[in-house]
Amino acid sequence: MKNKTKENPIMHNKKVTAKNLGLSEDENEIKRFVIIVIAIAVIAGIVYIATEAFNKKEAEYEDTPTTGAINYDVVTIGTLLNRPSDDYYVLIYDSEKNDAVKYATLMDLYIDENSKEKNYKPIYLCDLSNSLNKEYYNVNNDNKSNPKATKIEELDLGDLTLIQVKKGKIVKYVEDYKTIHDLLR
């Protein structure tokens, strides 16, 4: 009686394959381990490079100093009556409305065409979209304003208003675009 041991053909094929490559099973496992370590190192390197590139861009923004600028042509309702001039205009409108560009252009044209004149009255902008000014914007929600206002507390502003101030008092209150246009020309 011969003692025949049967070998598993699948295991035999694996051994043959490893042998054909000239690698033992241990060497094959080491090879797989090295490949995994290299793959992890490559991924970590890519993440590191991407992080460094992002940090450099962020550092560029942080390192660039910016100087603050004060715009003396913009006022809030609270400072409306105490500008350095004795006689001036304040154009009041909501910069978030569709007609805001038209109003800003009107103000710019007035400044460009009249600033060199002897009787030039300075003009200031008051933006109703500014949270400090919102409480004066159509207070009664009736789409009516108070053109007889002479003090800040009395103001109830519509979408567009031109106020003329003389010596800290409101002397003219205009809401019609055509009238404002003609007055500033």
Q: Number of structural domains, the chain? A: 2
Strands (E), 14-95: 74-75, 87-93
Domain assignment present for 91: yes
Q: 28 and 79: one domain?
A: no
Structure confidence at residue 18 as a pLDDT band (50, 70, 90): very low
Instruction: Give the CATH number for residue 83.
Output: 3.40.30.10
Q: 106 and 36: one domain?
A: no
Q: 92 and 47: one domain?
A: no
Q: 48 and 79: one domain?
A: no
Average of per-residue pLDDT across 113-137: 90
DSSP state of 90: E
Q: Is residue 184 pLDDT above 60, yes or no?
A: yes
Domain assignment present for 68: no
Whole-model pTM? Answer: 0.61
What's the pLDDT at 25?
Answer: 82
Q: 41 and 116: one domain?
A: no
What's the pLDDT at 146?
Answer: 83
Q: 90 and 139: one domain?
A: yes
Q: 19 and 79: one domain?
A: no
Q: 177 and 114: one domain?
A: yes
pLDDT per position as a tens digit, 93-124: 989 888 899 999 999 999 999 889 888 999 99
Give the residue, 19 or 126, on which the prediction is more confident.
Answer: 126
Cα dist from 54 to 50, 63, 74, 167, whole Å: 6, 14, 38, 56
What's the pLDDT at 2?
Answer: 53
Q: 82 and 40: one domain?
A: no
Q: Is residue 12 pLDDT above 60, yes or no?
A: no
Structure confidence at residue 66 as a pLDDT band (50, 70, 90): low
Q: 116 and 170: one domain?
A: yes
What's the pLDDT at 72?
Answer: 76
Q: 46 and 96: one domain?
A: no
Mean pLDDT, the chain, integer: 82
Average of per-residue pLDDT across 151-166: 90
Domain assignment present for 69: no
Token pair for 7: 């070998």
Average of per-residue pLDDT across 144-149: 82
Give the residue, 132 or 150, on which the prediction is more confident.
Answer: 132
Domain assignment present for 178: yes
What's the pLDDT at 179?
Answer: 94
Q: Could you tell me which of 145, 153, 150 has the C-alpha nearest to residue 171? A: 150
Q: Is residue 142 pLDDT above 80, yes or no?
A: no
Domain carrying residue 171: 74-184
